[in-house]
Amino acid sequence: MSVSLNLNPPALLAKLGRRLPTPFVSLHFVAGLEVARRLKWLSPPPELDGRSFAITIEDLGLRSSFAVRDGAFRPAWNSAPSELELGAKLSDFLALMRAETDADTLFFQRRLRISGDTELGLIVKNWLDAAPRPAWLQRMSGQVQG
């Protein structure tokens, strides 16, 4: 007797991701942001200082909450709502990170979900659009597209 399993890896990852506590995910996500900041790949503008954010990678079921304090990224340990929440699939966040597409395009195609403080959302959008990308990220983008 043969048994066929139809496994959907993204669904399994999302199920696992939803079970991970947000502080655990946030700690790892913020560690990556801090490495990028210290390597001068990413520098939050002063307008973000003292503000709180959440990013959800919807297809993986992962949510990260963090804040910017004194120009550095810090995990948010409390359960207070974030001032700005962004949600999208991993591929859309990667396209945004590589500057293959912009936040407006993703938003109007309903591939980027934004909620919370509208003014803060515009500051973040303009910052992400204007942020220079490291050379290795641009090379990686060309390899993926080509």
* 1 pLDDT higher than 90: no
C-alpha to C-alpha distance for 14 and 80, rounded to whole angstroms? 23
Q: Kindly give, in sequence order, each residue whose CB lies less than 8 Å from that of residue 47, ignoring residues fewer than 6 positions away.
A: 123
C-alpha to C-alpha distance for 47 and 66, rounded to whole angstroms? 15
Long-range CB pairs of 2-7 (<8 Å, 24+ gap) are none
Cα dihedral angle (64, 70, 127, 14), rounded to 10 degrees? -10
Q: What is the pLDDT of residue 106?
A: 93
C-alpha to C-alpha distance for 95 and 106, rounded to whole angstroms? 9
Q: What pTM value is reported for the model? A: 0.80
- For 65-96, how does the pLDDT look when each residue is reduced to its tens digit (9 = 90+)? 999 999 999 999 877 889 999 999 999 998 98
- For 98-133, how does the pLDDT look when each residue is reduced to its tens digit (9 = 90+)? 888 889 999 999 999 999 999 999 999 888 888 877
48-52, 53-57, 69-73, 94-98 — which is least confidently predicted?
Answer: 94-98
* 144 pLDDT higher than 50: no
Strand partners, 63: 56
Residue 111 in tokens: 């591939």
Given pLDDT bands bounded at 50, 70 and 90, which one contains residue 16? confident
Q: Whose structure tokens read 């990413």?
A: 42
- Domains of the chain by range and CATH? 9-145 (3.30.1050.10)
